[in-house]
Structures are given as C-alpha cells and as structure tokens.
Amino acid sequence: METLTTEIIKKEVDYYFGFDIARKTRLRQFIDARSIYYKLSRDHVRPISYSAIGEKVKVNHATVMHGIKTIENIFEYNQDPFLKENFESIEKNIMPNNFNKYLTKEDQFQNAVMQYFKMQYPDAFVIHCPNEGKRTPFERFKFKKLGGVAGVPDVLCFDSKGDFNGLAIELKIKPNKPTENQQKCLKTLENKNWKTVVSYDFDECKQIIDEYFGII
C-alpha cells in the first residue's frame, strides 16, 4: 500500500483541477485548490509540519495555517458546498482503494477529463456512455437488444456552442487508435453538426474543451 505524502496529494490536486496549484496567483480557484491541499496534507500525512506542507507550493507556514483555518470554517458553517464536494472527491481519490489498480490509463484519462468539466464548466451537460470493455454473451445480447451502439465517443457534451450542436471526444492513449465503430460514430455526429475530436493527451483535451467554450 502506497504511503501518502505531500507530493502525492499535490499531484492529485493538480490533476483534479487541471493546473499547478503552486503557481503564484491570487485567483480564487488557485487559493481554494491550495487550501484543499493544505488540509488534506494535514489530515492524512502525519506527523508533518505546516512548513513542510507549504514547501511543496512555495508558501510559508503562516499561509498554510491560515488556509487550513479558513477552509475548516467554511466547512463548519457550510458556506461553500461546491468546495466541500471538491475536497471530498479528492480525498476519496487519494485514499487506498483496491479497485484503483484495475483502472487502465484510458480510465484515468477519462476520469481527469470528467473532473475538469465538473470543475471548470459545472453547468455543462456532459456524460460518458460505458460501452467499453468485455461482455458475457448475455451482456452482449442485452446491449444490442436495448439499443446499445458500439463506438460511442468517451465524452459527450450536449451544450451547443456557435455552429456546433455538441462536443464529442474520443480519448486514446498512444499508440491506440479509434476503432472502425468509433470512427463511424464520430463521422455520424460530425454530419449532425457536432464538433468531433480524438485526443491523446490531457493538456490537449483541456485546450479542446476551453476552445469549444470560447475561453481561448
């Protein structure tokens, strides 16, 4: 079982929010993310000093203490349910889980992208259709009987933007490539005025999403 460290926790928080929390900025989303990192480190890495927690994000012990006190007050008085939800999601991710070892790299990629949508575009209607993986003969029969379609893209965002009715993203880890069924689904959606993309990298995928929503 992997021992939790501040490095592991920071990496998980970075991954969840899609940015480096050590970046020097006073933007609210960075302050909140760092506060989550402070509290998670204090709660789950023992013994540890405030200075050691701050070292990973280049802040002093007083900043860490203030961040922890602030976030604990927010939680106590339920002042920001969204912040609490983010904290609990990341806490679940860092805690030992016997099922994590079965997640593929594409599974982890998928999770990171969905978390990015949740954090950056919480009002967007985004889903994942779980049509991957092996099935028993009965499961294959049931899948087809109930109208299942092979090759549906990993990420479907139903928010229309500009000339597009939605955004469809097929996620792949190189050297994997889209299957014939996946290519057909992407083409079908493209013909129905969806923006369709195959992404091989999380940073690339974030850029695709931000461009679609007109952020960059």
d(CA 37, CA 148): 41
> What pLDDT does 149 receive?
87
Between the alpha carbon of residue 36 and those of residues 28, 88, 93, 116, the distances in Å are 12, 9, 13, 16
Write out the H or E segment, with its range, that includes residue 123: none
Instruction: Indicate the angle between helix axes 61-76 and 81-94, nearest 10 degrees.
Output: 110
Dihedral, CA of residue 149, residue 150, residue 153 and residue 155, to nearest 10 = 70
Q: What angle do CA 97, 204, 6 make, to 5 degrees?
A: 40
Dihedral, CA of residue 192, residue 195, residue 200 and residue 202, to nearest 10 = -130
> What pLDDT does 150 receive?
87
Which distant-in-sequence residues (6+ apart) come within 8 Å of 96 by Cβ? Answer: 1, 2
3-state secondary structure 46-68: CCCCHHHHHHCCCCCHHHHHHHH
Which of 41, 34, 46 lies closest to 70, judged by CA? 34
Give yes or no for residue 126 having a pLDDT over 80: yes
Q: Beta partners for 194? A: 166
Q: Tell me: the pLDDT tens digits for 151-203?
A: 999 999 999 999 999 999 999 999 999 999 999 999 999 999 999 999 999 99
The percent of residues above 90 in pLDDT, for the chain, comes to: 72
Q: Tell me: the pLDDT tens digits for 20-42?
A: 999 999 999 999 999 999 999 99
Sketch out the chain's domains with CATH numbers: 6-101 (1.10.1750.10), 103-212 (3.40.1350.10)
Which of 98, 163, 171 lies closest to 128, judged by CA? 171
Give yes or no for residue 212 having a pLDDT over 70: yes
